[in-house]
Amino acid sequence: MFVVKDTFSQTKKEWTIMHYAVGSNSSEIDLLSDIEEMKQGKRSNEYKLITLIDRIEGFSEDSVTLDGNFTDTRLYEINYETYKRLDGKEFFPQIKANRLFEGNMAEALTLKKFVQYCKKYYPANNYMLVLRSHGNGIGMCPDAEDGKMDRLYPGEMSYVLTNEESVDILGLDVCSMAGLENLYEWRPNNNSFSADYVLASSPLSGAWAYDAILDRLSDNENNKLDLDSNFFDGGIERNINPNNMTPLDFSKLIIEEIYDNQGWASWGLLDNTKIENVKTKVDEASKLLAHENKDSINAIIKNTLGYYHNTNSDIEIAQLTFPYIDAYHFWIQIADNVFFSKETRLKANEVCISLDNLVLNSYYGQGYLPETNNFLNGKNGVYQIIPQGDNVFSQSGRTFWNHCGWFHPDNRSSNENSYGQYDWCIDGAIRANNQVDNFFELLDYLFDESNEESGGVNNYQW
């Protein structure tokens, strides 16, 4: 093993992969395995792979994969069987080979600087940003090294990052972030950070097989040795030349390898250029549902495939903590329910069509997740935040909806483990007009009937 001296090239490549490795938590034990896989898989020099990695004591003791068993924050360029330790230049002046720097990787400004750094010093025609750490739907990439738990929140990312930091592909190598509400934060043409394609999981998931993914980025596209059958598109998987690889090509290659190596999980490849239409259709349907029977709606919520973590033996806590249900399964039940009006059912069917357009590829794993017959590959696989809101949590005596104060249009950043400011909740709503205008207001209508001027249980008056 040897380290190549830090050098910078302004030669523009077709692709730069930006890997944001947040190991300031228990995921640190796996991050060095990821880096080693990258070093074994990255055989082509026709694209750049840059990582910003943060480590912490108490987990991995690896001192071989990179330069020592460090516990600070460092920048590297990854190449076949080697790496370059990088200087942070003007974006991270504290990151130098002879200096220790502890960055807050859960701060959106850190992520923003990393993307800016990569785009300036490793320019490309296409960019993929991978966020690698833990996730729970509310946020991801936790960092508690300053004594207080912080996370990257979807609303925070769209508030701090700009259109200049937008990417072609956003890879969420974390758990439980494949929600419509998160995708909508990163929608194209929103005058903020955006991504055209998103790879994400709805339930618990594992790390990507970086060696298998990168090994297929080959100048020799005809090399089909050891390639599997393509689960999604049929035929045999193929290598792709990074010099003529489109974002859709790359995204499909990644989810093929995720499926090959994580058959127990559930992942989706999502065309985020379609999320705005999904939002429009969902809100239109929400206005109609406000005139339907509440008990019928609640019954469908309780009958919908949930993505709560199945690792918790207490199902009540699991459903409270992860109030995520499959969007397509929810809306198709409304479309098929003869007790709803024809107009409502037709609009719910339009939602299903929009979801089908959003979800390019998806699968539901075997052997870990609860058995279900309600998952259709390429339609299901993305969730909505829909708690079983009228349930009362036994330990608090408060409803599940009362515990969802983090899902809100207002700023919730003063609360621990929360941020709020979801565009999904804000857009389309007319506050305090006493009528349901979007899906968030439908939930508040269903579960906070008082609609008092004070805002009831979540300080929101619809």
Phi-psi region of 137 (alpha: psi -120 to 50; beta: other; left: phi over 0): left
**Rounded Cα distance, 28 and 309, in Å:** 21
User: Which residues in the chain come in under a pLDDT of 50?
Assistant: 1-6
What is the structure's pLDDT at 309?
A: 67
Q: How far is CA 329 from CA 149, 193, 333, 363, 392, in A?
A: 34, 29, 6, 14, 24
Half-sphere exposure in the Cβ direction for 188 (13 Å, CA): 15
Please tell me which residue in 118, 175, 352, 404 is annotated as part of the active site. 175
Q: What is the pLDDT of residue 5?
A: 46
State yes or no: is 404 an active-site residue. no
pLDDT of amino acid 222: 56
- Do residues 23 and 54 lie in contact, with contact meaning Cβ atoms separated by under 8 Å? yes
Residues linked to residue 246 through DSSP beta bridges, in sequence order: none
Tens digits of residue pLDDT in 236-291: 999 999 999 999 999 999 999 999 999 999 999 999 999 999 999 999 999 999 99
Nearest to 320 by CA among 380, 407, 381: 407
Q: Of all helices (H) and strands (E), which one includes residue 126? A: strand 124-132
N-terminal to C-terminal alpha carbon distance within the chain:
61
Q: Would you say how long the chain is, in residues?
A: 462
pLDDT for 4 equals: 43
Name the helix (H) or strand (E) containing 215.
Answer: helix 210-215
The token pair at 90 is 């003007």
> How far is residue 312's CA from residue 316's CA, in Å, rounded to a whole number?
9
Q: Which amino acid is at 323?
A: P
Q: What angle do CA 169, 362, 202 make, to 5 degrees?
A: 80
| pLDDT attached to residue 1 | 41
**Tokens coding 225:** 């040795």
Among residues 356, 352, 383, 377, the alpha carbon closest in space to that of 365 is found at 377
Question: How much is the pLDDT for 224?
Answer: 54
Q: Which of 60, 67, 168, 51 is nearest to 111 (CA)?
A: 51
Handedness of CA 52, 180, 175, 249 (dihedral sign): negative
pLDDT reported for residue 221 = 57
Segments making up each domain of the chain, as ranges: 13-262, 275-458
Contact 226, 327 (CB under 8 A): no
